Chains A and B, each alone.
Chain A
Amino acid sequence: GPKVLQIPSHQIIDMGQMVTLNCDPVSNHLYFYWYKQILGQQMEFLVNFYNGKVMEKSKLFKDQFSVERPDGSYFTLKIQPTALEDSAVYFCASSQDRGTNERLFFGHGTKLSVL
């Protein structure tokens, strides 16, 4: 079935550095999302993105976070600077529409370890 690819699968960086998480969404999808999961627990919504703009973001989406998808390439989540509490698995998801019947496809996640 359709796949969302995330690169890299694991990223280790020092606190204060910048990190960019990359997502290759399903090709005909228009809505993109980032979710954060700590220790295999609750998935928490960070942000959704459509037509080059952030549509909605949660309080977890700090000022140090930014998202973009330049020219239909990767949908990226950038954290600058990183903090220890940013350590988590970040899941990218995409859907064709944002309607409730629309299936949301998730990637396998990028595990971010901030030291």
Chain B
Amino acid sequence: QQQVRQSPQSLTVWEGETAILNCSYENSAFDYFPWYQQFPGEGPALLISILSVSDKKEDGRFTIFFNKREKKLSLHIADSQPGDSATYFCAASDTNTGKLTFGDGTVLTVKP
């Protein structure tokens, strides 16, 4: 059973639109949720993260909305730019371990 799921698998938006990437999880013990951005040929880079005690985290154009009851979260990228085109991974971990469990990723394409 996959612990972290992401949807959609791929997403295309126009420059300036808001991209919405979804994530859900199974393990109630997860309390830390980072989102990673990965460009081809590179390693994942931390974009933004949220703890389960919060329901929203904002950093510039990037916002995480978190619903603990439904075990769902989403990443909103406002005013999308072509340079945002990348694969985005939702990940989760609990306080007792540094191990991250990743979703399958969403490939985002922003068209100019």
Partners in one complex: yes
* Residues in chain A within 8 A of chain B (CB atoms): 4, 31, 33, 35, 40-45, 48, 55-56, 58, 91, 93, 95, 98-109
Extra contacts, 12 of them, besides A55-B98, A104-B98 (Cβ < 8 A), are A40-B38, A42-B104, A43-B89, A43-B100, A44-B102, A45-B100, A45-B101, A99-B98, A103-B46, A104-B34, A104-B46, A107-B43
Do A100 and B45 touch across chains, with their CB atoms under 8 A apart? Answer: no
A41 is contacted by which of B41, B94, B99, B105 (Cβ under 8 Å)? B105
How many residues of chain B are within 8 Å of chain A by beta carbon? 28
The answer to the question of B1 belonging to the interface, with a C-beta cut-off of 8 Å to chain A, is no
Total cross-chain contacts (CB, 8 A): 67
> What residue in chain B is nearest A57 (Cβ atoms)?
B99
Beta-carbon contacts of B77-112 to A below 8 Å, as 1s and 0s? Answer: 000000000010101011101111111110000000
Do A43 and B41 touch across chains, with their CB atoms under 8 A apart? Answer: no
B102 is contacted by which of A42, A58, A102, A103 (Cβ under 8 Å)? A42
Beta-carbon contacts of B28-45 to A below 8 Å, as 1s and 0s? Answer: 000110101010111111
Show 9 A/B contacts (Cβ-Cβ < 8 Å), sorted by A.
Answer: A40-B40, A40-B87, A42-B105, A48-B97, A55-B98, A98-B97, A100-B51, A101-B51, A104-B100
Q: How far is the CA of A93 from the CA of B43 in the complex (A)?
A: 9
> What residue in chain B is nearest A40 (Cβ atoms)?
B87
Q: How far is the CB of B62 from chain A (nearest CB, A)?
A: 16
Do B46 and A91 touch across chains, with their CB atoms under 8 A apart? Answer: no
**Chain A contacts of B31 at CB under 8 A?**
100
Q: How far is the CA of A110 from the CA of B44 in the complex (A)?
A: 13
Interface centre among B34, B94, B99, B104 (most CB of A within 10 A): B99
> What residue in chain A is nearest B52 (Cβ atoms)?
A100
**Chain B contacts of A41 at CB under 8 A?**
104-105
